[in-house]
Amino acid sequence: MANLIPSSDYSNDFDANWFVGAYYSEVDGCQEVGQFLPFILTALHDIFKSGNVRGNTLLDIGTGPTIHSVISACPYVQKIILSDYSQVNIDALQQWKDNKVQTGSALCKFILDLEGGKFHQTVHERFAEIRNKVSAILPVDLTKCSSIHLGNDYPDIIVSSLCFEVACKDVHEYNKVVQYVGSLMAHGCHLVVVGVLEETFYRVGKFSFHCLKITESEVKTAYTTNGFEIKTWKEYIPPPRTAEEAEFSDFQKAFVMHAVKV
């Protein structure tokens, strides 16, 4: 990691195009993180395919510049609210919603194949459905636990992918974020979280960005002690990395969790 420059400047140093191209352009495109993306997409599909996780409004916290986290959920909700800390990512999401950029097609096709034609949709049709259902793209700063202004749109489902551990400096702050997310939800509502364990950084171009090094026990405790019941927990362990591959990330496990507010 000697060649990477540490940064926390998401306005100037976070290259959304590099990020999408490196990590989310192809399902198997980033060998540096192994089968991480197929694992995430399959796990999200598995959570939503039963139809039991559904509702009117879905809120995605920390969407980033890619909509991979809502592709499987889209048929089961009427409204989607996206959000991110970085204006760069908000702009990228708005461009995607306005059909000015075409990203994520390979990911969407992978999910549609998993669905086996259940909804009889093409990639173009699923993307059109998502665009139509996105009602807002909001700024969010999870370090300020009052930053998401939803009006009367209380979410039935909250999804967050690779966000909480990036936003937090320590486990105490992670717990505060979980408490805040819980405060946005009524009893019985669903929370779906994609996260990484024991990661300290991830790469974006020539920069490395901080990630909270948190354990499985600490993550699960944060949810079970703050009003959530964990329904499913799936893990992915990456293969051994070469020195070059290790410059992209040092996560030891990835997880996808489905929990319910109790």
Q: Which amino acid is at 219?
A: V
pTM exceeds 0.85, yes or no: yes
Nearest to 4 by CA among 246, 241, 198: 246
Question: pLDDT tens for residues 138-161?
Answer: 999 998 877 788 877 789 999 999
pLDDT of residue 1 exceeding 90: no
d(CA 169, CA 167) in angstroms, rounded, equals: 7
Question: pLDDT tens for residues 201-229?
Answer: 999 999 999 999 999 999 999 999 999 99
Question: In the structure, what pLDDT confidence band is assigned to residue 31 with cuts at 50, 70 and 90?
Answer: low
Strand order, beta sheet including 253-261: 134-139, 79-84, 57-60, 157-161, 190-197, 253-261, 228-236
Backbone angles phi, psi at 167, to 5 degrees: -80, -20
d(CA 26, CA 38) in angstroms, rounded, equals: 10
Name which of 120-124, 232-236, 245-249 the model is least confident about. Answer: 245-249
pLDDT of residue 30 exceeding 70: no
d(CA 203, CA 211) in angstroms, rounded, equals: 10
Terminal alpha carbon distance of the chain: 42
CB 213 within 8 A of CB 173: no
